[in-house]
Amino acid sequence: MSAIKTPMGLLEMALKKEEAAQRLYDRLLKEPQAGVVRGFLEQLREEETKHVRMVQRKIVDLRLGKAR
């Protein structure tokens, strides 16, 4: 992995990782799962969805010059 040199670079890398995790859980949920495992995967996918949205908001804030 190359060194992240800017806040935007860090956020863009984080977004890619969160989206990849979200896709992983989506793929796993397409396969037959026991109820407890399926529920856990759904929780994990929802957490990744929250993370994606959070990072997307941070990217927008950074582009608009807002710091939160």
Q: pTM of the predicted model, to two decimals?
A: 0.84
Q: What is the pLDDT of residues 39-53, one digit of tens each?
A: 999 999 999 999 999
Of 33, 10, 54, the closest CA to residue 25 belongs to: 33
pLDDT at position 3 is 72
Torsion-angle region of residue 59: left (phi > 0), alpha (psi -120 to 50) or beta?
Answer: alpha
Instruction: Using DSSP, state whether 2 is helix, strand or coil.
Output: coil
Of 56, 46, 64, the closest CA to residue 16 belongs to: 56
Considering the chain, what is the average pLDDT of its residues?
A: 92
Examine the pLDDT at 12 and tell me if it is beyond 70.
yes
